[in-house]
A and B are shown apart, each in its own frame.
Chain A
Amino acid sequence: MGALWIVFRKEFIENLRDRRTLFSALLFGPLFGPLLFGAMVSRMLEQNTLESDQALHLTVSGADRVPGLVQFLESQGVVLRRVEYGEEDATSAVRRGDVPVVLIVPAEYPDRFRAGKPAPLLLVADSSDSQTRKDTERTRSLLTAYGSEIAQRRLAMRGVDPLLALPVAVNDVDVTTPTGRAAVVLGFMTYFVLFAMLMGGLYLAIDTTAGERERGSLEALLSLPVPRASIVGGKLVATSAYMSISLAITLAAFCGVFRFVPLERLGMSTNLGLGTALRCFGICLPFVPLGAALMSFVASFARSYREAQSYLTAVLLVPTLPIAFASIYSLKTRSSLMLVPSLSQHLLMTSVLKDQPAAAGDVWVSAAASLALAALLTILTARLWRRETMLR
């Protein structure tokens, strides 16, 4: 225990003096996620307000033929721009991006309309363009509304109750709570938290293993009368300490960001206060030694800093795999999933953020599974350090 503490203290202090470590572990790693997140949500808010507040600009060819429709559209606040386009003119104008969408009223429209036959309208739009898709959708729903208004009027004129044409009335009941809706957005916040935690220990995991070898200090260290397990243990505890600090900073930063991002305007609310942050910290804590042991184990194979860095970029992706898998198959929280580290932390944190209390049993299973795997990897690392090949 004495040697473990001595190794821990030295690694902790030495890395505290390294600017690169400090930058990546305590600044870039923990703040990157929250800031990016804040910017993203702000942008979404901006777009949302822009789209619903802004008037729809619609380019119409042959507007003179449809005074009724024009009146209807203008009453809905649509700004019309009258042109005389053939189908080809309209197609090329949309393709060039001059106008988002063009509505063409063909010459036969008035006759067919009067005859009570389906009157054709041409909507020229580019469905692969996500920017203009909103405009197209808004135009289409306005045209549908106009159509059903005409239909009801025709039925009424013929003495038919227009309601007969509405055999079913579908009403949506959305059970999402404002917090739940936010959780969709918060879904990948858990990924940022896990990522920042690993980033916090990345440089220590490399510096204390491959770095020791590259510096040439390993051989002298291994010739001391100290059990290798204590040396490895001290290094892992130091890496874990940095990861925990990084985790705490990340969660604090998220709390801060959500204080300034007006989520309520998206119809969401967040409960990310101190209590939730502490609960998330507790959920993630068992993952810390696992991440430290995994990174140190892999970096122990590397001969140089650079080599270790390229190995560990791959390792950084490993914890994201179960999360990605879960979202592809939209897995729900289940007790058996608590056995999968990173996924269990993701699911538990998501529950907490959604204001759904996580089952105490699940929390313990998640912690036990992560810690068991951490213990296994620690033993494997210590074994690796006992091998002579460490010096070759």
Chain B
Amino acid sequence: MIEAEGLSKRFSQVAAVSDLSFQARDGQITGLLGPNGAGKSTCLRMVYGVLTPDSGRACIDGIDIAGETSAARSRLGVLPHAAGLYGNLTARENIVYFGRLQGIEAAVLERRARELAETLGMQDFLERRVKGFSQGQRMKTALARALVHGPQNLVLDEPTNGLDVMAIRGLRDTLLRLKAGGHCILLSSHVMQEVAALCDRVVIIGAGRVLADDTPSALRARSGASTLEQAFLQVLGDDAGIG
């Protein structure tokens, strides 16, 4: 379970996020939906603790994320917007490196890496160096790296960016499987269809504030719109919240 409580963050004069609160529950996929520059990445970065909020706090399973060695961090898998890999290491070595830093023993890790490769369909390129990987292969490796310590919670920042249809479908299947396993998944996106197809709950963000927080169907019903896209545009209003 991921909780954001009154998160605020300013960069010099610009308020990127203002008093943002929401919950992402276990066994659900929660989507942060908003136009570019709405504050989604800033919000997620505070949730996974690389940015410190000016006020408010983010808790993972009830533990405050603040602090480098916080116990909350080991309950969290992170796929940042820029999920770069180490080109001169193989996919397996990339995964194992993060696993070691999460404090997992080498023997356990080898098994974990094999299991993840199997679930994500990475057997063909597990032992190859990352340098020449396709976007889809990179995404799978980065996702495996985020999941290597078997975290209860998973945060993904725009995970479908740059992926082709097949890779997006693969990712969707993986996330649905994790959800079925009772994990808490929080992802951001600016693509309506993606959120509509995947999320149990949608938090719409504009100009750093929560504009709506509900299930996709409830959002549709409330705005009287037939599609989530229309509901989304309606919620954002005329100024569209693009800062």
Contacts and interface: CB of A to CB of B under 8 A. Distances in A.
B136 interface: no
B74 A220 contact: no
A239 to B, nearest CB: 16
Nearest to B129: A17
Nearest to B11: A392
A6 B45 contact: no
Interface in B36-53: 45, 48-52
Contacts, number: 82
Nearest to A17: B88
B84 interface: yes
Interface string A215-227: 1111111111111
A53 interface: no
Contact of A225 (B70, B82, B100, B146): B70
Nearest to B84: A216
Contacts of A81: none
A217 B86 contact: yes
A215 B84 contact: yes
B45 A391 contact: yes
A224 B142 contact: no
B82 A219 contact: yes
| Interface SS majority for chain B | loop
Contacts of A386: 68
Nearest to B98: A224
A391 B97 CA distance: 21
Interface residues of B, number: 36
How many residues of A sit at the interface, in one of the four size bands?
Answer: 20 to 34
A217 B85 contact: yes
A225 B52 contact: no
Contacts of B50: 219, 222-223, 388, 391
B235 to A, nearest CB: 29
A156 B181 CA distance: 119
A14 interface: yes
A220 B88 contact: no
Interface in B163-206: none
A15 B86 CA distance: 10
Contacts of A222: 50
Interface centre among A215, A220, A391 (most CB of B within 10 A): A220
A7 interface: yes
Contact of A223 (B71, B73, B86): B73
B112 interface: no
A225 B82 CA distance: 19
Contacts of B82: 216-217, 219
A215 B87 contact: yes
A15 B87 CA distance: 10
B102 A224 contact: yes
A266 B50 CA distance: 63
Interface string A295-326: 00000000000000000000000000000000
A388 B51 CA distance: 6
Contacts of B88: 14-15, 17-18
Contact of A220 (B70, B87, B93, B146): B146
B90 to A, nearest CB: 10
B212 interface: no
A228 interface: yes
B20 interface: no
Interface string B61-97: 0000000111101101011111111111100010001
5 contacts: A14-B86, A14-B89, A224-B102, A226-B68, A228-B68
Interface of A: 2-3, 6-7, 10, 13-15, 17-18, 215-228, 386, 388, 391
